[in-house]
Structure 1
Amino acid sequence: MDLAVLPLAVTMMAGPQIMSALIFVTTRRAVTVSCAFLAGVATAATAGVALARWLAGLLPLTRPAGALGELLQYGLAAVLLAVAVGNWVRRAEVKPPAWLGTLLNAGPGTGFRTGLLLIGLFPSDVVVMLTVGVQLARHGQPLTAALPFLGATVLIAAAPLLVFLLFRRRAERFAPVARDWLTAHSWLVNVLACLLFVLLLVL
């Protein structure tokens, strides 16, 4: 698999996804709920990439019939660019969704569903999974070739939990600060990530 898609794992978790992970480590059952969230993330990401790989496999993306593949690749880059521009234009209006506040009392079931739905239905994540699926199809690679990308996605999602387990007392103080910063600057994270991956797609 082209290692250029690995940084896309950052985009998978940018925004409400990583904020949810931060909220879960501040709940009463932090470890249990966070593990359920990670299971949801892993399930959705694997299913999404598998579906994207299957759909891309139906198209003539491999060389020498790669014109359609290149067109689709540039199309995905255009979508990511549009997402970046949209985040920049609406940066003063971007606010975290109200449902994030309800996660403070979440149980394992809510944690799993949150990971599943955020990754499976969030537009930017759908675009990323399509990008990975197209990359796999273009190079004639199986789903297992996406394991580094899937592993990186889950690792990023697990970062708040790992910090919590390693530095429990400090993490309890730091998590709310990090959550508030990401809430205020989520548009900036999205813009930078999208621009980076546009460059990776077109170069």
Structure 2
Amino acid sequence: MFAQHAAKYLSETSGGVMCYLATMIPMDDEDLKRVSRHIADRQGWGFITIEEGLKLPRAAKALKGDEVVLFDSLTALVQNNMFEGGDYRPEYEAENIKEELKELAKACKHLIIVSDCIFSDALIYDEITEAFRRILGHAQIQAACVADVVLECAFSNIKVWKNEADIDIKAITDMYYTLNSHLTYGDI
């Protein structure tokens, strides 16, 4: 939800059209439910939606240049490419992700990238899961290199990791907390 609020704030302050770049490719009923929930969460926000789960340049071509793009998510994009067509592709290394992200960023006014943190445990997983974690970590580093600002939002705590001076974090967080004052800890 924080990313939606950030997109709304950037849209209101820059005049950009809000665009949701949906990357999840549903593989089962659970995924379909998640997609339905995401669509419901965006109801009434004014987002236009682009669905592209594999290649960011295709999404970039669909943009006009005035959009505030909420890209949800880098995690799903990596997963889709690693398991394209349902088969594990061990050769996928996200080598082109930095260039693809640059192309996407150039095609819009503002780009917000959502990614998941899957690195905060001490477990050792099977080879495929460890490959996914490694590749996602690499993709996140590349995204941070391309980004003007890097934020982490966890349990409603917002940490600025890159270029705090470039954003009005107080305005974004105030809007987020004001609009979500009814939420309890479990909702966030």
Q: Normalized per residue, which structure has more strand?
A: 2
Q: Is the shorter-chain TM-score for this pair beyond 0.5, marking a shared fold?
A: no
Q: Which has the larger radius of gyration?
A: 1
TM-score with structure 2 setting the length: 0.24
By relative contact order (CA 8 Å, sep 6+), the higher-ranking structure is 1
